[in-house]
Amino acid sequence: MARNGVSFITGAQLLSLRRRPNIAVIDVRDEERSYDGHIPGSLHFASDSFSDKISDLIQTVKQKDTLVFHCALSQVRGPTCARRLASYLEEVKEDVGIKDILVLERGFNGWESSGRPVCRCTDIPCKAHNL
């Protein structure tokens, strides 16, 4: 489902794709990631510095063709960062292998309230297995 130029994926859909090695989950929450936990295996690129770190993100997700962004509710920060990356990729016109940029519907809060796995490690990056 697309809203504001961004396609959304449900938590159930993301869980069903979790075994695929080509997916990266990008958490763009700011400091709340440190105390609320996170989706296991997700990468952290805080929204407040996201634009400055886009090239780092692209390097980090080499070998991935699907990126799933989220923030707490995926209403503002998640979709905004997803659109920023999409715009950046259009501007540089370089094929970095990213085919799908999605946003997790209901964000981390929806993920956690549905009883899906949450990791509370402080490792950067999270070494837990994806999802």
Whole-number Å distance between alpha carbons of 128 and 54: 23
Query: Looking at the DSSP assignment, which residues form a beta bridge with residue 8?
Result: 103
In what order do the strands lie in the sheet containing 23-27? 2-3, 6-9, 100-104, 66-70, 23-27, 43-44
Q: Report which DSSP code applies to 84.
A: H
- Kindly list the catalytic residues: 71
Residue whose entry in the numeric block shows the structure tokens 């994926």: 9
What 3-state DSSP class applies to 59?
Answer: helix
59's tokens: 């390097």
